[in-house]
Amino acid sequence: MLNRRLLLRAAAALPLLSTLPTRAAESPDAVVDAFVRDTGFQGVVMLGQAGKADYVRTVGYADIEARVPAKADTPYAIASISKWLTTVTVLKLVERGLLDLDAPLTQALPDYRADTGAKLTLRRLLCNASGLPNLFIAEAKADPTLLQTDLTTTQALARFGQGDLVFEPGARFDYHPVNWIVVIAAVERVTGLPFQAAVRSITLDPLDLRATGATEAMLEGAAPSYRTVAPPERWRNDRRPYLAASGGYASTAPDLMRAAHRVFDTDFLTVESRRQLTHVEVPMEDYALGGRVRRLTIQGRTVLAGWETGRTAGYRLVLGHRLDGQRTVVLMNNTALSQKTMDQFADALLGAEPRA
As a whole number of angstroms, the distance between CA 102 and CA 140 comes to 31
C-alpha 214/C-alpha 179 separation (Å) is 18
pLDDT value at position 168?
Answer: 97
**Average of per-residue pLDDT across 212-217:** 96
Question: From CA 246, how far away is CA 80, in angstroms rounded?
Answer: 6
Separation between Cα atoms, residue 38 and residue 40, nearest integer Å = 6
pLDDT tens-digit readout, 169-209: 999 999 999 999 999 999 999 999 999 999 999 999 999 99
pLDDT at 144 over 90: no
Burial zone of 157 (CB within 10 Å; 0-12 exposed, 13-18 middle, 19+ buried) = buried
Q: What is this structure's pTM?
A: 0.93
Predicted confidence (pLDDT) at residue 14 exceeds the cutoff of 80: no
Q: What is the mean pLDDT of residues 237-249?
A: 95
pLDDT above 60 (res 95): yes
Q: Is the Cα torsion angle 134, 137, 141, 144 positive or negative in sign?
A: positive
Q: DSSP secondary-structure letter at 225?
A: P
Per-residue pLDDT, 290: 98
Q: Reply yes or no on whether 338 is catalytic.
A: no
Confidence check: pLDDT of 5 > 80: no
Lowest-confidence range among 76-80, 142-146, 159-163, 243-247? Answer: 142-146
Task: Give residue 147's pLDDT.
Answer: 87
Q: Pick the catalytic residue: 80, 130, 225, 251?
A: 80
pLDDT at 21 exceeding the cut of 70: no
Q: Which domains does the chain have, with CATH numbers?
A: 4-81+205-349 (3.40.710.10), 85-195 (3.40.710.10)
d(C-alpha 307, C-alpha 84), whole Å: 10
**Average pLDDT of the chain, as a whole number:** 93
Looking at residue 6, its pLDDT comes to 35
pLDDT of residue 25: 56
pLDDT at 26: 81
What is the C-alpha R_g of the chain?
20
Percent residues over pLDDT 70 in the chain: 93
Q: What is the pLDDT of residues 310-330, one digit of tens each?
A: 999 999 999 999 999 999 999
In sequence order, what are the beta bridge partners of 305? Answer: 294, 322
Question: H or E element: which one contains 251?
Answer: strand 250-251
